[in-house]
Amino acid sequence: MCLAIPGKIVSINGDDPLTRMGKVDFGGVLKEASLAYVPEANVGDYVIVHVGFAISRLDEQEATKVFEYLNEMEDLSELQESAAVETAPPQHPAKKQQR
Amino acid sequence: MKYLDEYRDAELARKYAREIARITIRPWTLMEVCGGQTHAIVKFGLDELLPKTITLIHGPGCPVCVTPLELIDKALEIASRPDVMFCSFGDMLRVPGSKADLLSVKAGGADVRIIYSPLDAVKLAQANPTKEVVFFGVGFETTAPATAMAVFQARNKAVKNFSLLVSHVLVPPAIEAILGAPDCRVQAFLAAGHVCTVMGFEDYIPIAAKYRVPIVVTGFEPLDILQGVLMCVEQLEKGRATVQNQYSRAVSQEGNRPAQALIREVFRVIPRKWRGVGEIPRSGLGLNEAYAVFDAESKFGLAELQIEEPSECQSGLVLQGRIKPNECPAFGTRCTPEHPLGATMVSSEGACAAYYRYRREPVTA
């Protein structure tokens, strides 16, 4: 029910923020979507579309975090291990929690 | 497709599973809130990648499933009227009411239409001025902005033959209801990513603090869900209970402000009945006074109708994570997607339907 699919805006119709519509490309399938809730979105942006409405513009930088998270954890545990060897008592490195 | 395929990488999924196994020391019970996540977990067998000491229980996050019987009966009553064109998302058509479902009413001659967007219902109303067009507004916070826009446009364009049967529910009060139950087993939540796309996650911060549960806003693809589980387990093992955002490519802390503004313009927070669960205070949306003329229940004089739930369907226990779908005695025998006893067997996101489709035999985990 809350299914929402990412697609790329290929064209935009209208200037009124409340009725602005976009043509969105979902892997080759084109569909109209309301852009009323993504006033910042432009042609070329990826948006998440739910029941005919774009509800979020995808953040390209944030989108890669899932691929880097394990490496970050690995670096962190190496850091912790070397800290444990070098210092006593071991310091607990501050970790980025709110991502 | 970009932003989908790369989140289904099997090798990285296995790496996530290994990392989860590496850091897990004690047994933990997590609940994924959203039916879309349940579907992905069962479809991709993600729970089977996890250590046996981690239990995923499936939450109430399927709006179709929690729509109470009495609203389905109201929908059937309205749809059966000769002057009505009844519009709904496809998921609702086979949800059983007391005596029938929308599909059988349609087969009997009622004008029931499946639409893609709520705005389509407003267009139908404009194109058919002699008909009463009613939209069955079902959904969580994700869908509420779309429904709100339909009503807002209907008022702006003075479309008088459009009305809304509202069945909108809100997620945070349901999470609190689950956490407040005396036999609650849930120790951490994967919060529903698309609900948070609209609402942000500020509402979850006091819940995480009050009940000492980690809450991780999580997406819907296999890597999203595995990362969400990993972040929950990291917090649990360290004794932390904060809100984290795994789905940051789509979700910000404050959410979608323009969408929230339109929800507030059209709707107000009211108590709502959840199918199989009962009434939860402040857990739903009803139309604001300025939009009350669009309320189908008053327009068709059905506001007082009250129906009790049947006893055989145990969807209430499934929706609260107290039993797995295949632990219900009716599962796969007296209750199947062709002949469902309850909505959890009908909706594509219902836990019972997901188990029936992908996991007919009980899994010994």
Condensed to tens digits (0 to 9), the pLDDT of residues B195-222 reads 999 999 999 999 999 999 999 999 999 9
The reply to whether ipTM tops 0.90 is yes
Query: What are φ and ψ of residue B28, in 5° steps?
Result: -135, 150
pTM here is 0.90
From B119, B249, B256, residue closest to A34, measured CB to CB: B119
Distance from the B261 Cα atom to the nearest Cα atom in chain A, whole angstroms: 10
CB pair distance less than 8 Å for B138 and A37: no
CB pair distance less than 8 Å for A50 and B142: yes
Q: Is A55 on the interface with B (CB under 8 A)?
A: yes
DSSP letters for B15-32 = HHHHHHHHH--S-EEEEE
Look up residue B322 and give its DSSP letter.
S
Q: Is A70 on the interface with B (CB under 8 A)?
A: yes
Residue of A nearest to B244 (CA): A98
Distance from the B251 Cα atom to the nearest Cα atom in chain A, whole angstroms: 8
Distance from the A73 Cα atom to the nearest Cα atom in chain B, whole angstroms: 9
Burial of B135 (0-12, 13-18, 19+ CB in 10 A): buried
CB pair distance less than 8 Å for A62 and B195: no
Q: Which residues of B touch A67 (CB under 8 A)?
A: 6, 12, 223
CB pair distance less than 8 Å for A97 and B242: yes
**pLDDT, average across residues B306-322:** 80
From A52, A58, A70, residue closest to B15, measured CB to CB: A70
Lowest-confidence region among B127-136, B143-152, B302-311: B302-311
Q: Which residues of A touch B194 (CB under 8 A)?
A: 2-4, 48, 50, 55
How far is Cα B71 from Cα B306, in angstroms, rounded to an integer? Answer: 9
CB pair distance less than 8 Å for B19 and A98: no
Distance from the B241 Cα atom to the nearest Cα atom in chain A, whole angstroms: 11
Distance from the B88 Cα atom to the nearest Cα atom in chain A, whole angstroms: 12
How far is Cα B345 from Cα A41, in angstroms, rounded to an integer? Answer: 38
Helix (H, G, I), strand (E, B) or coil at A25: strand
For helices A65-86 and B10-23, the axis angle rounded to 10 degrees is: 40
Condensed to tens digits (0 to 9), the pLDDT of residues A27-61 reads 999 999 999 999 999 999 999 999 999 999 999 99
The topology (CATH level 3) of A5-59 is: SH3 type barrels. (2.30.30)
CB pair distance less than 8 Å for B3 and A63: yes
Chain center to CA of B58? 11
**What's the mean per-residue pLDDT of chain A?**
85
From B4, B120, B146, residue closest to A6, measured CB to CB: B4
Q: Is A71 on the interface with B (CB under 8 A)?
A: no
CB pair distance less than 8 Å for A52 and B192: no
Q: What pLDDT, on a 0 to 100 scale, did the predictor assign at position A90?
A: 46
Q: Tell me how far apart the terminal alpha carbons of chain B are, to the nearest angstrom.
A: 33
In 10 A of CB B191, how many CB atoms? 33
Chain center to CA of B246? 20
CB pair distance less than 8 Å for B4 and A65: no
Mention every residue, 6+ apart, whose C-beta is less than 8 A from residue B351: B35, B38, B58, B62, B65, B318, B319, B324, B325, B344
CATH of B5-63+171-245, one of 3.40.50.11750, 3.40.50.720, 3.40.50.300, 3.40.50.150: 3.40.50.11750
How far is Cα B107 from Cα B191, in angstroms, rounded to an integer? Answer: 38
Chain center to CA of B208? 21
From A1, A36, A48, residue closest to B250, measured CB to CB: A48
CB pair distance less than 8 Å for B145 and A53: yes
Cα distances from B321 to residues A72, B220, B223, in angstroms, run: 33, 19, 23
Q: What pLDDT, on a 0 to 100 scale, did the predictor assign at position A88?
A: 52
A residues 2..41 contacting B (CB < 8 A) = 2-6, 8, 17-18, 26-27, 34, 36-39
Q: Where are the beta strands (DSSP E) in B62-201?
A: 84-88, 111-114, 132-139, 162-169, 188-192
**pLDDT, average across residues A7-27:** 95
How far is Cα B205 from Cα B215, in angstroms, rounded to an integer? Answer: 8
Mention every residue, 6+ apart, whose C-beta is less than 8 A from residue B156: none
**pLDDT, average across residues B161-176:** 96
Q: Which residues of A touch B119 (CB under 8 A)?
A: 34, 52
Condensed to tens digits (0 to 9), the pLDDT of residues B226-280 reads 999 999 999 999 999 999 999 999 999 999 999 999 999 999 999 999 887 789 9
B317 pLDDT band, cuts 50/70/90, is: confident
Structure-token match 């295949």, residue found? B326
